[in-house]
């Protein structure tokens, strides 16, 4: 029994925060941001939009476009580092908003590696034979924890959500063997210091802006490159795959220089590495599913995908999956129909 992706959904807020706007508020420039990160713009949710709204919108996109019966969904695994509340779980709210009345929901926080961890969790649930249809979501409203007075972090992050439907299959399509890693000694290099049980909210924590994300950029950069490169090589070996058997690489979209360095370490053609960081920035748990959503038309049945991530915790990992047969996508059908119609009219 394998778990295969059969439908994909995504959502990003309409509001765009470009480099020009950021350069007007902190000491930086459009050129410097793009050169150092590869980011040109990012999407920002408004004050009334929560992570549950982003996740629900991505799920709705999936359910409607692929004609999925929401009553058949048995579980929702939501990866997020920016829950609506510390308590209760955001997945509970998402189940309500998405009408998943027959599913249980659970939050999973592994920061930027969250979606990969959630995917592995859900796949294991299906492989056990106890579940048949599970939605896995990566969603984050990073603008809620980013300090827009801190040049080191405010240039990096955006908001968004992506969702996939995992279904059981007896074919060889779907998720292969994964490798997931954690190194807690790195927590102090990338964290939100206050607001949890260790440092509860107080006037002092607010004055020190401790509810915002803090990052040791250079150290995290080097650790991300080394960790993603090594774990990618290890997971290829674990699945008995050579580099030239990988059709597409889906890396966490943290920094274009990290993405390029990982691709070079694997000796993989850059055209095989999917990148959309220039439009969305780092959406944390959402980067992997948004990449799958953006480039879904490029993935063909039987192709091998390599996914690799790195995030706070430190958490990182990689997996391989063999692309399966997708449900019919109404948006793709509509697009192709319009193209054919226009071609006929042109002739």
Query: Which residues are designated catalytic?
Result: 112, 252, 282
Question: Taking the CA atoms of the chain, what radius of gyration do you get in angstroms?
Answer: 20
CA–CA separation, 342 vs 171, rounded Å?
38
Q: Which of 116, 121, 117 is nearest to 131 (CA)?
A: 121
User: What's the 3-state SS for 127-195?
Assistant: HCCCCCEEEEEEEEEHHHCCCCCCHHHHCCECEEEEEEEEEEECCCCEEEEEEEEECHHHHHHEECCCC
CA–CA separation, 101 vs 201, rounded Å?
34
- Would strands 133-141 and 159-169 be described as parallel, antiparallel, or unpaired? antiparallel
What are the Cα distances from residue 213, in Å, to 9, 140, 144, 288? 28, 13, 10, 21
CA–CA separation, 143 vs 231, rounded Å?
29
Element (H, E) at 320: strand 315-322
Phi then psi for residue 6, to 5 deg, are -120, -10
């Amino acid at each position: 029994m394998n778990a295969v992706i059969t439908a994909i959904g995504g959502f990003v807020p309409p509001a765009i925060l470009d480099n020009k706007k950021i350069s007007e508020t902190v000491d930086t420039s459009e050129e410097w941001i793009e050169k150092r990160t590869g980011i040109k713009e990012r999407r920002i949710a408004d004050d009334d939009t929560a992570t549950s709204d982003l996740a629900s919108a991505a799920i709705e996109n999936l359910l409607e476009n692929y004609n999925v019966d929401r009553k058949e969904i048995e579980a929702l695994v939501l990866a997020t580092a920016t829950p609506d509340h510390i308590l209760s779980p955001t997945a509970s709210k998402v189940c309500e908003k998405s009408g998943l009345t027959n599913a249980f929901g659970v939050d999973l926080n592994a920061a930027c590696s969250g979606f990969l961890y959630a995917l592995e969790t859900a796949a294991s649930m299906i492989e056990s034979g106890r579940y048949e249809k599970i939605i896995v979501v990566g969603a984050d409203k990073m603008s809620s924890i980013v300090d827009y007075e801190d040049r080191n972090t405010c240039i990096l992050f955006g908001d968004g959500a992506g969702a996939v439907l995992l279904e059981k299959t007896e074919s060889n399509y779907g998720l292969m063997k994964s490798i997931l890693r954690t190194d807690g000694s790195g927590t102090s290099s990338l964290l939100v210091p206050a607001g949890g049980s260790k440092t509860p909210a107080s006037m002092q924590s607010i004055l020190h802006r401790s509810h915002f994300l803090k990052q040791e950029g250079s150290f995290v950069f080097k650790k991300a490159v080394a960790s993603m490169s090594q774990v990618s090589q290890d997971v290829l070996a674990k699945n008995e795959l050579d580099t030239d058997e990988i059709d597409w690489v889906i890396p966490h979209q943290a920094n274009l220089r990290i993405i390029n360095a990982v691709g070079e370490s694997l000796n993989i053609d850059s055209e095989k590495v999917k990148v959309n960081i220039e439009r969305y920035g780092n959406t944390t748990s959402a980067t992997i599913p948004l990449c799958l959503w953006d480039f879904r038309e490029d993935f063909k049945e039987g192709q091998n995908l390599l996914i690799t991530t790195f995030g706070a915790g430190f958490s990182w990992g990689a997996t391989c999956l063999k692309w399966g047969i997708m449900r019919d996508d109404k948006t793709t059908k509509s697009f192709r129909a319009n193209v054919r119609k226009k071609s006929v009219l042109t002739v």
